[in-house]
Amino acid sequence: MKRAELVFVPTPAVGHLVSAIEFSKRLLDGCDRFSITILVMKPPFEPSATLNSNTSAQSLAASHGHIKIIDLPTVNRPLEFLQRSVEKYITVYIEGYKNHVREAIASHVLPSCSVSGLVVDMFCTTMIDVANELKVPSFLFFTSGAGFLGFLLHLSSRYDRVDTVFKESDSESVVPSYVNPVPASVIPSFAFSSEGYISFANHARRFKETKGIIINTFVELESHAVGSLSDGETPPVYTVGPLIGEHPAQHSDHQSKFDKIMTWLDDQPLRSVVFLCFGSSGSFDEAQLREIAIGLEQSKQRFLWSVRKDPPKGKFVVPEEYKSHEEFLPQGFLERTSGVGILCGWAPQVEILAHRAVGGFVSHCGWNSIMESLWHGVPVVTWPLYAEQQINAFQMVRDLGLAVELRLNYRKDGVDHFVVADEIERAVRCVMDGNDEVRKKVQEMSGACRRAVGDGGSSSASFESLIEVMLASFN
């Protein structure tokens, strides 16, 4: 049987790649007429800290014979942009891959079949040009929520009207995809700098060139935001989430760490452990880590804490693991909390959130983490760090009432960037002991998640519509 060949071009970051692979697997589960090639760029980090993206991708995709992973060559990193704007840096870095994408399609795809469409990530809009050259449709795969998609589209139209960045002196902005006016303090940092603002405005402008926008969300969660996108100007939106792996990747490189964590959790009471994890790029300086330790000890809650070492200032690298946690912990902390909590570096987040012992999640509010926490019914304590995480936290707390607020406006390099132990203690106690209303709403949303992707659910129906459109292009 001849298959429709789709080429995926994800942003070179772990969360984006994982989502792209889960979407690919879901697409193949829903229709046996596709085959998929995923083109994996090298992450834009310094070589010494580069993640083995290809190995991770191969592991995640292993259960499907019709997903092919192609590792693209290294390109020069445009370091002259890095200090000016991370967003501009990533945009220019990805633009440097355009010829490699053309060559990979020519050498690995076209000799055996024709391309039916390109699925490009939010930072990869330059690859729409490649789809146009091939005379095939392009689809945008948006790894964050509908609220943030609406914000970026608002950014683009606002730039056309106002031609100026946001100002920190602004009080609030009305953004159609959010229920409540959005305070300036939670608007992503890039919107306050000209290069970051223009980079995203240009990406969002190109979103409208695609044949459809695929979002890792579901209508029951973001009904207001999804409704706001039906404005006649935005391409059709397909809500296909939550994209949660039913069969998580193998952890052969971390098997002993995995076994230690899961064995410890097996010995803990039901919903008694608070899990702290801030994503693959999340880290704090040692003063803040000590304060977290004090707050956890004061809370008297069981804890599982994933800790990474803060990179040297000005270095764009993945945080590494500590050789010894005693480097930053208060004296005697490990002895006093023995049996109550454990610290780790790498952590199998999906499996931890699925464990019966976990009752709360202190999170950076990356969108994948939000989806995973809702799927497993674990309420979040918001501690955003970078990118769109502040506005995600705002949405979860203020618009949706699905999270406990520690901070909404925390920015790692911001003015008010230190969180004291008493704040941490209060938030941890609140999620574990006090806020039954949030827990109840999260449990209800967990059920809605599963219904959305089940037979006849809203995301399943959206998937079916998307498959029809993709196959029509093939035919």
In whole angstroms, give the CA distance from residue 441 to residue 374: 10
Asked if residue 380 and residue 443 are part of one domain, the reply reads: yes
Q: Is the pLDDT of residue 324 over 70?
A: yes
Asked if residue 196 and residue 271 are part of one domain, the reply reads: no
Asked if residue 442 and residue 463 are part of one domain, the reply reads: no
For the chain, the distance separating the N- and C-terminal CA atoms, rounded to the nearest angstrom, is 13
Among 44-48, 75-79, 397-401, the range scoring the smallest mean pLDDT is 44-48
Beta strands in 105-148 (DSSP E): 115-121, 138-142
Which DSSP letter does residue 338 get?
T
At 273-309, the pLDDT tens digits run 999 999 989 999 999 999 999 999 999 999 999 999 9
What percentage of the chain reaches a pLDDT higher than 70? 94
Tokens for 451, please give them.
């219904």
pLDDT of residue 314: 74
Closest CA to 197 of 169, 167, 174: 167
Q: What pairing do the DSSP bridges indicate for beta strands 172-173 and 212-215? A: unpaired
At 87-124, the pLDDT tens digits run 999 999 999 999 999 999 999 999 888 899 999 999 99
In whole angstroms, give the CA distance from residue 365 to residue 405: 11
Judge contact between 420 and 426, C-beta under 8 A: no
Burial class for 271, CB neighbours closer than 10 Å (0-12, 13-18, 19+): middle
Q: What pairing do the DSSP bridges indicate for beta strands 341-344 and 358-363? A: unpaired
Q: Where are the alpha helices (DSSP H) in 239-341?
A: 255-266, 286-299, 333-336
Asked if residue 275 and residue 198 are part of one domain, the reply reads: no
Q: Check if 267 is active-site.
A: no
The range of the structural domain enclosing residue 330 comes to: 254-448
Mean pLDDT in residue range 354-359: 98
Judge contact between 275 and 348, C-beta under 8 A: no
CA distances from 30 to 17, 24, 25, 277, 449 (A): 20, 10, 9, 32, 18
pLDDT of residue 249: 60
Q: Check if 154 is active-site.
A: no
Asked if residue 218 and residue 110 are part of one domain, the reply reads: yes
Asked if residue 369 and residue 236 are part of one domain, the reply reads: no
Q: Is the pLDDT of residue 61 over 80?
A: no
Residues found in the chain: 475
**Helix or strand run (H / E) with residue 70:** strand 67-71
Asked if residue 324 and residue 221 are part of one domain, the reply reads: no
Asked if residue 274 and residue 201 are part of one domain, the reply reads: no
Asked if residue 223 and residue 349 are part of one domain, the reply reads: no
Positive/negative CA dihedral, 36, 37, 40, 41? negative
Per the model's pLDDT, the better-predicted residue between 61 and 194 turns out to be 194
Q: Is the pLDDT of residue 389 over 70?
A: yes
From 16, 154, 364, 376, the catalytic residue: 16
Judge contact between 357 and 339, C-beta under 8 A: no
Number of domains in the chain: 2
What are the residues whose beta carbons fall under 8 Å from the beta carbon of 417, sequence distance 6 or more?
410, 411
CATH number at 99 reads 3.40.50.2000
Asked if residue 241 and residue 220 are part of one domain, the reply reads: yes
From 29, 32, 66, 121, the catalytic residue: 121
pLDDT of residue 50: 40
Name the pTM for this structure: 0.95
Per the model's pLDDT, the better-predicted residue between 32 and 140 turns out to be 140
Asked if residue 260 and residue 238 are part of one domain, the reply reads: no
pLDDT of residue 218: 99
Tokens 């490990």, located at residue: 334
What are the residues whose beta carbons fall under 8 Å from the beta carbon of 457, sequence distance 6 or more?
218, 451
CA torsion 353-355-359-362 (nearest 10°) is -30
At 145-172, the pLDDT tens digits run 999 999 999 999 998 888 789 988 888 9
pLDDT of residue 49: 41
Asked if residue 418 and residue 324 are part of one domain, the reply reads: yes
